Amino acid sequence: MMISPDFKHWLLANGVGSDASMVPIPGDASARKYFRIANSIGMDASLEATSCTPYQAVGEALRAQGLRTPHILAADLGAGYMLLEDFGDKRYLTELTAGNADKLYGGALTALANLQQVPQVVGWPLAEFDSTFILREMGWFCEWYLGAYLQLTLSADERQQWQQTFNLLVANAAAQPRVFVHRDFHAANLMCLANGAVGILDFQDAFMGPMTYDLVSLLRDCYIDWPAVRVRQWVQQFQQQMPAARQVDAAVFMRWFDVMGIQRHLKALMTFSRKYCRDQNDYYLQFMPRTLNYILQTSRTYPEFDFLHQFIKKNILCVA
């Protein structure tokens, strides 16, 4: 991954010497590029510079809530360039073990409970994760995963059944309390900092949405999985931390969580297949089997998702 001349010139103008070591850092599924430069992180988001304004605004809102996000040391929002505080290399994804998972997830769940109480983001109106939002993402799922990646052509009856499935996902999201949602709150975006603090990354796409969205992103992570018994214990632990969640029967809350996972994982399959088909990036294909298995297990649990379960078994497992 090469650093662009314009970005390098901007860094030099902001005090990063020409002899500084610029080491590429693996990024996320976006077009952003990251470099470790001396004791800071350079972010080149020039291909999606519009993400820089919400990055600044949301980051400030999270810090005002007492959460840890990287301080911006220098920025050109219009160009998409930033110099950020370096949180180090200890991502949850690489640090988690069976022995420390309760401790690390305990910290993450406490941070999430705090994050959900962010009252507003000054200077940046948050999108609503509503029916329009969900159905748009599910349309992309049909386009990129079922169509472009799997090359499946749906019958009229299948299209109707998929729409009914999507409507169930919409209803599940609408039934839940609305909170601040990070949108990608998972092990690859959480950092282990000093004194047990949790560093939070990649928050610029935040929206207002259902309470279990970030919870399922964290506990049914596409990049790492845990036994169902432990996941259920962590879900119950989080429910007890949230006054609004404690007012709901545990079985209802668990269904909210499970069904939210279906939407989240269908969306992830869309993202992974779009990266492959559009961007010729096959890195995320390795995470498809785990993601599919989450959907398969959940759809087997709830009779109303029998079409989804049978469709996967018949049309996807045989070609994936």
Q: What pLDDT, on a 0 to 100 scale, did the predictor assign at position 28?
A: 65
Which residue ranges does the chain devote to CATH 3.90.1200.10? 92-316
CATH 2.60.120.10 fits 92-316, yes or no: no
Q: What pLDDT, on a 0 to 100 scale, did the predictor assign at position 16?
A: 80
Q: What pLDDT, on a 0 to 100 scale, did the predictor assign at position 320?
A: 44
Q: What pLDDT, on a 0 to 100 scale, did the predictor assign at position 291?
A: 98
Q: What pLDDT, on a 0 to 100 scale, did the predictor assign at position 317?
A: 80
216, 261 contact by CB (below 8 A): yes
Burial of 132 (0-12, 13-18, 19+ CB in 10 A): exposed
Residue 31 backbone phi and psi in degrees, to 5: -95, 5
Q: What predicted TM-score, i.e. pTM, was given to this entire model?
A: 0.94
CATH 3.40.50.10540 fits 5-85, yes or no: no
Q: What pLDDT, on a 0 to 100 scale, did the predictor assign at position 48?
A: 84
Q: What pLDDT, on a 0 to 100 scale, did the predictor assign at position 29?
A: 60
Q: What pLDDT, on a 0 to 100 scale, did the predictor assign at position 47?
A: 86
46, 33 contact by CB (below 8 A): no
Which residue ranges does the chain devote to CATH 3.30.200.20? 5-85
CA-nearest of 192, 44, 168 to 106 is 192
- In the predicted model, residues of the chain with pLDDT beneath 50 are 320
What tokens appear for 199 in the block? 């560093």
Q: What pLDDT, on a 0 to 100 scale, did the predictor assign at position 37?
A: 85
